[in-house]
Structure 1
Amino acid sequence: MKASPIIEMANIDKYFAGNPVLKAVDFQVLPGEIHALMGENGAGKSTLVKILTGIYRRDQGVIKWKNKEVVFKNPKQAEQNGIIVIHQELNIIPHLTVSQNLFLGKDITYGKTGILNKKEMHQRTKRRLYELGVTNIHPNDIAGNLSIGKQQLVEIARALAANAEMIIMDEPTAALTEREIERLFHVIQKLKNQGVSIIYISHRMEEIFDICDRITVLRDGQTIGTKLIADTSFTDIVRMMVGRELGDRFPERVNVPGKVIFEVENISKEDLFENISFSVRKGEILGIAGLMGAGRSEVMEAIFGFSNKDHGAIRINGKLVTIKHPRDAIEAGIGFITEDRKSKGLIMHAPIRENIASANLKAISTYGVIVNSKETLLIEALINRLQIRVISSEQEAKSLSGGNQQKVVLAKWLGINPKILILDEPTRGVDIGAKKEIYKIINELTKSGVAIIMISSELPEILGMSDRIMVMHEGKIATFLDRQEANQERIMAAATGGVRHDSTY
């Protein structure tokens, strides 16, 4: 006998300012099922989840929770009914202990005295962690001192403490190491075995096939279909998401890199990285791989002047350059797209115009005063060049999809006509269609001679886009690999300390 859905959303409509965002969407999740919810950025996934959890009100349609029609007025009411969201930006309170985070707003007291029963909270926290098979987190640990992976496990333990029957996970592996992802998947499987349903939202296709039972795809606010993972393929899902064949996942690399333009010699920073040396040629993509904590981002931040290095040299076209501040790097022709676009790459509440102009003030100013006509020409040219989908350049950055936000960050740095462009996780949280567009932009930049340094935690991306790969392990260079000799096994062996090759390449 087929199980009844634990959640059933039927014929859901949602309009914003008269514009349809969801149109007759149907979505069902079974008890104890890991159900992938996929679609390009702007397809309606977030809106659907917000309607389910009471953040938005639907304009039409029916929601049933355990066969009973419901209308949750707010997320707290959804949580009280057993539906909890674990957001990509975790809701951990960093200065509180693990135990305090678990029972935040649900304190256990001695009767009606109001005095906290810390011993009972400690014991229950320990029990919840044990149920997840987690033995390396202590209830008294300060949450902010834990790795992102451990913080995520604390969020899951908090959901269990609230007796969650359904957990919605939004891009849960975006900031995790390979080992932490493995651990998370083990915990998710354990939750499934306990009868907890999971809605799993991710742009990482490999994960969907690794862990999910079924998948529902949204496109342009409509349900395209629901399939068993076992009965579908990567190509099927892409076709459902974008409405067409996407072709090869990565564009063909045909340009031949030129002479060495950028050299880094023996740069070090105590306790973070040591004697890092590498070079990049004109029109080349140097991929940087390694596990989280290997020092990849820290090296690039020191090169760009976000932080100071202890020693070492940087040369552009053979000439020694001194970089003590990001403005020195920009003057030298270096651009840097950081991995956290929301807090470091964009001013989310500012217009797209201001975001793009922020790195290009010199180009659009005369005697220190911004010339409106110059600004307009630059902004419009970059929006058209990168095909950023906007209504107006006065739109706030936060109103854009993840892929278009990332294009705005790219536009900001392309305006300076960089010689060297550092990309730190350039497609994190971006859907597969937007990823392909970003890859195309990166390829076009290399054809014009820009040297690209690209950090990525996605091995298929590193392998698909790089001309050479530098692998880091615990703050040191483990090895360099040519495109022809690189594969996932070799990269992971080097990233975990199995290979060592310290010479400059």
Structure 2
Amino acid sequence: MSAPLIRMTGVTKGFPGVVALDDVDLELAPGERLALVGENGAGKSTLMKLLSGIHAPDAGTIEIDGAPVVISGPAHAKELGISIIHQELGLVGDLTVAENIVLGREPRRGPLLSARATIDVATELLDRLGMVLDPRALVRDLTVGKQQMVEIAKALSVDARVLVLDEPTAALNEAEVQALFSLIDRFVTPTTGVIYISHRMDELPVVADRISVLRDGRNAGERDARTTPMREIVSLMVGREIAVDVRPAPAEVGDVVLEVQGLSSRHPLHEVSFTLRAGEILGFAGLMGAGRTELARAIVGADPITAGTVLVRGRPHRISSPAVAARLGIGYLSEDRKRYGALLEQTVADNIALSSLERFTRGGLVRGRAIERVATDLVARLRIRTPGVRQLVRNLSGGNQQKVIVAKWIHRDCDILIFDEPTRGIDVGAKDEIYRLLEELAAAGKAVVVISSELPEVLRLSHRIAVMAEGRIAAVLDNSEATQETIMEHATRFHETAVTGA
């Protein structure tokens, strides 16, 4: 029997105030697809950073093909045949697809870089991987899904034997997900293997052979991906049962607090109208590019509108920025937490206070102790995993960063809350906590908009569901009549009409 491609034994890693990994074992066999799952903060990303040479273990051993190795850095890891696609992409937006793929290994003719050879190398690789990408396109002009494909092509350009994918489908549409799965199938051979990290439980039986579960930095168990019920995997991850296939209880709704009338923008909104009442959760579903995020940004003044009216509590307002929206009692959580949601180089406490800093200011001075008291309470309430409220947000896992942003808007106490992909990158246990939190907010009389690409999430949370297609609202469904199938029928209606001419 051949030696494992990767064997990690007794691996331990600590950081100031926290033990990230405690005596963890992991094996990847040749030809295997291994899913690595766990809650945010369970240690998955830290384990992969040890494998990629970003961090060194405090204890334990790493073997490749049965031989012990000390991985001195990311370049050494690549030499050993290990390529890792991190959740946060590392591309250069102002370079082309081809230039990103060969970055650091640019082909030359004599002392000069060869643009022609760069295009040729990238084109050959993209063709071999079955990726439909223009090698001359600037990366910043691509969708997030296509940027993900560029990152994968870049990783595979160095003849990797082990490919690690960290939340690769978080920003992909269904077609891009299927393309990724096909790519994984082509990559895995009797001498290669894949480690696949994902919070999407429904993907695991499709993409993995075996599932390894981490909980609180320790091994929690291993299961066969094809035969094990996902409820059992979730229980291993969180240490408790998580309710599935739940629908919201009927809402006790109040007055209309937000009304949008005929809202349009240069792209892609066309005369969008809807109402939102106190005490309800209104979900927005649709395919990628349908206009859901653009609608949220237009409502809060982040993007300009060309026509239409936004009424808050019955009065029309010209909302010129998210700050103006916040003063009107509208809180907005962006889908891009890194860019718009959090100050990564600031502390948990400072981020939570950010949306309501005036409450902590007296005589021009900021009351730091008051901020810390409020932050400590919200950290406990949302179960944010952090050594303390003075921890920098960049040191938290992605899911805990998301919870810090949610805490910011909870403290602002807005009456209208718009959450765009509130659980993107968050594990199932943390999702359940966020769901309960949103339900509590609605029960307390808040009006909540939830935009989500996950149809089970929309059905789990929403009292009513607005389905968008090509910048319009195609239907508004009561939860009792909505199914994944009916939502998709409405989501694709405009596209099908345009194609068939019906």
Q: TM-score, normalised by structure 2?
A: 0.93
Whole-angstrom distance in 2 between the partners of 1:334 and 1:466: 19
Q: CA RMSD in A?
A: 2.2
**Are residue 475 (structure 1) and residue 474 (structure 2) matched?**
no
1:239-290 alpha-carbon deviations (Å, 9 max, x no partner): 1111222234657435322332211001111122110101111111111111
Distance 1:186 1:70, change over 3 A: same
Partner residue in 2 for 1:226: 222
Greater Cα offset, 340-349 or 358-367: 358-367
Quote the sequence identity (%): 42
Tell me, yes or no, if the aligned pair for 1:286 and 1:469 is still in contact at 8 Å.
Answer: yes
Q: Report how far residue 461 of structure 1 moved.
A: 0.4
1:82-136 alpha-carbon deviations (Å, 9 max, x no partner): 11111122222222222222211112223xx2223443333332221111122x3
**Are residue 84 (structure 1) and residue 83 (structure 2) matched?**
yes
**Are residue 445 (structure 1) and residue 444 (structure 2) matched?**
no
Q: Report how far residue 314 of structure 1 moved.
A: 1.1
Distance 1:19 1:147, change over 3 A: closer
Q: Where in structure 2 are the equivalents of 1:172-211 lying within 5 Å?
A: 172-193=168-189, 196-211=192-207
Distance 1:115 1:387, change over 3 A: closer
Partner residue in 2 for 1:97: 96
Distance 1:378 1:42, change over 3 A: closer
Tell me, yes or no, if the aligned pair for 1:170 and 1:200 is still in contact at 8 Å.
Answer: yes
Greater Cα offset, 185-194 or 378-387: 378-387
Q: Report how far residue 432 of structure 1 moved.
A: 1.0
Whole-angstrom distance in 2 between the partners of 1:296 and 1:417: 24
Which structure 1 segments of 5+ residues have no match?
none
Amino acid in the other structure paired with 1:65: I
Tell me, yes or no, if the aligned pair for 1:253 and 1:465 is still in contact at 8 Å.
Answer: no
Partner residue in 2 for 1:8: 7
Whole-angstrom distance in 2 between the partners of 1:190 and 1:320: 55
Partner residue in 1 for 2:500: none
1:167-187 alpha-carbon deviations (Å, 9 max, x no partner): 111111111112211221221
Q: Where in structure 2 are the equivalents of 1:387-402 lying within 5 Å?
A: 387-402=383-398
Whole-angstrom distance in 2 between the partners of 1:331 and 1:476: 28
Tell me, yes or no, if the aligned pair for 2:92 and 2:139 is still in contact at 8 Å.
Answer: yes
Q: Report how far residue 394 of structure 1 moved.
A: 1.8
Amino acid in the other structure paired with 2:124: R
Partner residue in 2 for 1:65: 64
Whole-angstrom distance in 1 between the partners of 2:33 and 2:491: 30
Tell me, yes or no, if the aligned pair for 2:470 and 2:495 is still in contact at 8 Å.
Answer: no
Greater Cα offset, 186-195 or 255-264: 186-195
Q: Secondary structure at the match of 2:137?
A: coil
- The number of residues matched between the two structures is 497
Amino acid in the other structure paired with 2:178: E
1:199-225 alpha-carbon deviations (Å, 9 max, x no partner): 111111111122111110011111122
Whole-angstrom distance in 2 between the partners of 1:339 and 1:226: 32
1:426-450 alpha-carbon deviations (Å, 9 max, x no partner): 0111111111111111000000110
Distance 1:194 1:124, change over 3 A: farther
Whole-angstrom distance in 1 between the partners of 2:325 and 2:482: 31
Whole-angstrom distance in 2 between the partners of 1:144 and 1:482: 39
Partner residue in 2 for 1:436: 432
Q: Where in structure 2 are the equivalents of 1:361-372 lying within 5 Å?
A: 361-366=357-362, 369-372=365-368
Partner residue in 1 for 2:401: 405
Q: TM-score, normalised by structure 1?
A: 0.93
Q: Report how far residue 489 of structure 1 moved.
A: 1.7
**Are residue 74 (structure 1) and residue 73 (structure 2) matched?**
yes
